[in-house]
Amino acid sequence: MLIQEVILENFMSYEYSRVPLKSGVNVICGPNGSGKSSLLLGISVGLGQSYTERSKKLSDLIRWGKDQGRVTLVLDNSRRGPRRPVPKINRDQIFLSRVLRRDGKYWFELENRSASKNEVVRLLLNFGVDPDNALIVMHQGMAEQFITLSPHDKLKLVEAAVGLEPYRENVLDAQNKLNRILSQEGSVERLLESAEQTLNYWREQYDRYQQKKQLMLKRRFLERELAWAQVSQKEQEAAELERQLKGMKDHLEQVNFEIEGSEDELKAIQTSKESSNAEWAKLFEERLRLEGAKAKHEFNVSSISRSVEELQTWLKLHEERVAELANSIESLRDNLAKAHSPQNLPVALNEIEKLCSTLQSSFSDVVELKTKELKGVLEVSKNAIMELVPNISNVQSMMEKVTSELETLSRKFLDHRVKLALLEYQRQNLTGSLDDLEKRLGTLVADIGVTAKRAGEMGPRIVSLMSMQDILDEIRMTDGRIAALADVSEDIEHMYESYSKLYLELKEKARVVAENREKALTEVKTRMEAWKQVIRSLLEHVNLEYQRIFLQTGATGWVKLLNEEDVETAGIEILAGFKGARAIPLDAYTHSGGERSTATMSFLLALQQHVQSPFRAIDEYDIHMDPKNREVIANLITSSLRGLNAQYLVITPNQMFFEGRDVHIITVQNVEGGSVITEVV
Q: Span 193-212, mean pLDDT?
A: 81
pLDDT of res. 681 = 61
pLDDT in tens, 318-360: 777 777 777 777 777 677 667 655 555 566 666 666 766 666 6
Segment 652-655 long-range contacts (CB within 8 Å, at least 24 positions apart): 652/27, 652/28, 652/29, 652/36, 652/620, 652/621, 652/622, 653/29, 653/30, 653/31, 653/32, 653/36, 653/620, 653/623, 654/29, 654/622, 654/630, 655/29
- Highest average pLDDT, of 165-169, 344-348, 638-642, comes from 165-169
Q: Is-contact 28 651, C-beta < 8 A?
A: yes
pLDDT of res. 553 = 84
pLDDT of res. 657 = 63
Whether the predicted pLDDT of 68 surpasses 90: yes
pLDDT of res. 363 = 64
pLDDT confidence band for 258 (50 / 70 / 90): confident
Report the alpha-carbon distance of residue 222 to residue 479 in Å, rounded: 11
Whether the predicted pLDDT of 226 surpasses 90: no
Backbone angles phi, psi at 674, to 5 degrees: -130, 150
**Does the CA dihedral 54-55-56-57 come out positive or negative?**
negative
pTM: 0.54
Q: What DSSP letter does each residue of 6-54 carry, written as one string?
A: EEEEEETTEEEEEEE--SEEEEEE--TTSSHHHHHHHHHHHTT----TT
- Picking from 505, 512, 283, the residue whose alpha carbon sits closest to that of residue 396 is 283
Report the alpha-carbon distance of residue 139 to residue 316 in Å, rounded: 151
How many other CB atoms are there within 10 angstroms of residue 551's CB atom?
12
pLDDT of res. 659 = 58
Q: Between these two residues, 310 and 107, which has the higher pLDDT value?
A: 107
Q: Mean pLDDT score of the chain, rounded to an integer? A: 84
Q: Span 47-70, mean pLDDT?
A: 79
Q: Span 373-394, mean pLDDT?
A: 80
Q: Span 553-580, mean pLDDT?
A: 90
Q: Span 656-673, mean pLDDT?
A: 77
How many other CB atoms are there within 10 angstroms of residue 253's CB atom?
11
Whether the predicted pLDDT of 177 surpasses 70: yes
- Picking from 542, 534, 566, 657, the residue whose alpha carbon sits closest to that of residue 164 is 534
pLDDT of res. 70 = 94
Q: Is-contact 31 9, C-beta < 8 A?
A: no
pLDDT in tens, 472-516: 888 889 888 888 887 777 777 777 778 888 888 888 898 999 999
pLDDT confidence band for 544 (50 / 70 / 90): very high
pLDDT of res. 107 = 92
Domains of the chain: 1-132+613-618+655-681 (3.40.50.300), 134-198+513-611 (1.20.1050.90), 206-458 (1.10.287)
Report the alpha-carbon distance of residue 482 to residue 492 in Å, rounded: 15
pLDDT in tens, 435-462: 888 888 888 888 888 888 888 888 888 8
pLDDT confidence band for 95 (50 / 70 / 90): very high
Q: Span 122-127, mean pLDDT?
A: 88
Whether the predicted pLDDT of 72 surpasses 90: yes
Specify burial of residue 637 (Cβ count, 10 A radius: 0-12, 13-18, 19+).
buried
**Which of 24-28, 182-186, 218-222, 323-327 comes out lowest in average pLDDT?**
323-327
Whether the predicted pLDDT of 463 surpasses 90: no
